[in-house]
Structure 1
Amino acid sequence: MFEREGAAPAAHIWEVGALCRAIADALQARFNPVAVRGEISGFSRASSGHCYFTLKDGQGQIRCAMFRRAAGQLDFMPRDGELVEVQGQLGVYEARGDLQLIVEGMRRAGQGALFEQFLLLKARLEAEGLFDGARKRPLPAMPRGIGLVTSPGAAALHDVVTALRRRVPHIPVVLVPALVQGAPAPASICDALSKLYLLAQGRQASDGDLASKTVAAPPIDVILLVRGGGSIEDLWAFNDERVARTIVQSPVPLVSGVGHETDFSIADFCADLRAPTPTAAAELVSEPRAVWLGALELLAGRLQDGVQRQIDLRHQRLDQAAQRLGRPSGLVARQQLRLAQLAQRMRHGMLLKTQHVAQTHQALQANLPHIVQRSLMQRGERLERAALRLELLNPQRVLERGYALLTDAQGQPVMRPSQVRHGDAVHARLAEGELDLAVTQRRLL
């Protein structure tokens, strides 16, 4: 109050900083050094090495700071929910005017009420087999669809969607929102998971709004249950027994990505796989598309090389067979040459014979007609036999018996059905003409 004329003297007016220092001096004189017993909440370690947390019990709480020198002397890593005893100096943080306890020493005094509840539930569910590794399923390498349960306003949703969009933009994601903190959160999480279970089983969810949004929902092959970091109280919904029993009922693999790397919940033990963060959970179910495309390209290259090797081998075998077989026209030409040679030899022989006959005309005049006739008959018979053999080898005679000579597009004889494929063009030579045909069916005899 300000001083008015005729009024009593006004109270001393303090500067804010001076008042904070005065209160700090009073606390120093009245309480310090002080020892306090309470439960840790919201513990964090800054990059500087200083630690900040809240110490609380059922009646109150106080902010605490533990500087790097004192934190470096600890023989354990403080965690949310632990019951500890601290020694330090009570003061005022003048920049905010907050009451603050500067912790100079800390030791365990118990596990804390919430942490004790966590351990009791963990032991009971583990004894029932809910954490059994035999029931854990591997994650699908290429899920057709991903189910997601988290708060629509949480940073975890943004982290997961960003990771999935970057790595597997082609895989659809079905989000079923749920509360992830507070008393209603366990029931909300269970309800959201149950709706995804129906979709994963190919059944329609009973919720009208969800049904209208998921008429064309993709098959769900894996589910992500995620939430960002926080204190043990913030994450307590994921230590609820109802949530644990709902998780183990999942018809498809379920990944839990709750809190930070140092946070553990009952949901983590029940899930098929625990991820240290929501982003890590998304990465576990989303092998980058580039990896699969690279693998497909590699396999395609191997397949192409293998096919080309087989084609080259078949061509080589075909060339070898063609060399052994030869063309019928070549055989005819050889026989015609042979026939010409025989005819030439016959003419030469007849000439020699005529000369011999002329020389011995006088002595053999009486037997000459007989000798000449017999020689001509012998030569004629030999010529007829040679002509018959030649005629038997003539492809035209084979064609006249109803056969056809088939050749492929390269002019090579077609001997087996395996030499051509469906739709290939072939050329047929008949006794009285030629045909161009196309293969419509192959049969082996």
Structure 2
Amino acid sequence: MKHFTLFELHQFIERVFLLNFEEEVWIEAEIADSRLNNGNYYFSLIEKNENGEFLAKASASIWRSQVMGLKKKVGNVFEKMTQVGTKVKILSRVRFHPRYGYSLNIVDIDSDFTMGWLYIQKQKTIAQIKSEGLFDLNKKLVLPQVIQKVAVISSEQAAGWGDFYRQIENNSFGYKITLQLFHSKMQGDQVRSSITEVMNEIKSSPVHFDIIVIVRGGGSSVDLSDFDDYSVAKQIAECPIPVVSGIGHDRDVSVSDMVSFASVKTPTAAAEYIVNHNYQFESSLISIYQHIQQFARTQINGYRSNLSNIVNKLALRSGNEVYKKSDHLKQQKLELTRKMYTISKEEWQRINSIKSEITLFNPIKIMDRGYSMIHQKGKWIKNLHSLEKDKKFSLRMNKDKIDIND
């Protein structure tokens, strides 16, 4: 039986490969591992069956000399196509090296295949999210009337974070809104694990956030595909805090956008969304204030008019009453004057009668008729028994006077 050394066997296998794979071949596979070293890309490619079982595995590479050409050809898709978990269709040279074994050298990539696969994956994610009743879950939450505390998921280096921060800090209304940045990968195969980790950190934070905002800079549709991942969309959909997605894309909508409470095109628009929300509350307060002010003014004017009417009526009534009372007083005054005149007349008559009596009984008048008066020791002598005959006394008759015993 013929035998080979290992090197001889490998040389034989190498000749077999060269004879059977003279030209490059197109291969469909999934990237299981990806790493960059000194400008060269190294991959582990796998194929699974419908049950997820491994059917095949191979090593592949893109040499540095070919990288620039491929990037120029496929553009931004290149980064996505070299991520773990991506399905690719590659044009490869199939080689077997006696020392390093079997490998694939990638010389071209079919970007349309990957884009189609990404679209299919996106539709599967949407279908699964809907089947689990998660699609509108975050949308059913209610925003507080005023947004004051915002958790921001972004990268510290992302231009979108800077735009969002400046727009909030310099808002024209002067609203004070507290921002807390939770750093996360926003592109690449680490997006899924990073978003999950940050979401859990926010939910367990002692700070009660009013809203979560996811922002990043702009990018292509392929860059956006990181947010079509089921695990990322599920985290957003099940989040107990309203999520606003502002991941920066004008032409396409990610699954994460679809399941968020609200979706805007840019980080700046996300900031405006928050500011406008607070402005709507302030406007409603101003409207209520103006309504109350108008209502109060109307009520005051009404009461003022009623008071004016009451005052006029009181003035009219009081004028009538004053006129009536004045007329009554005049009548009473005339009556009183008449009574006073009558009383005065009667009194004068009575006084004159008394005066006549006084005049009639005046001692001087009486003496005119021949009577006289005796005065002794400062008092009038009314009978002779009171007269001390030996003492001085005066005898008066009319205007004449005579002293006796003087």
Q: When the two structures are superposed, what TM-score results if normalisation uses the length of structure 2?
A: 0.50
Structure number with greater CO (CA < 8 Å, separation at least 6) is 2
Q: When the two structures are superposed, what TM-score results if normalisation uses the length of structure 1?
A: 0.46
Greater Rg, structure 1 or structure 2? 2
Which of the two has greater helix per residue?
A: 2
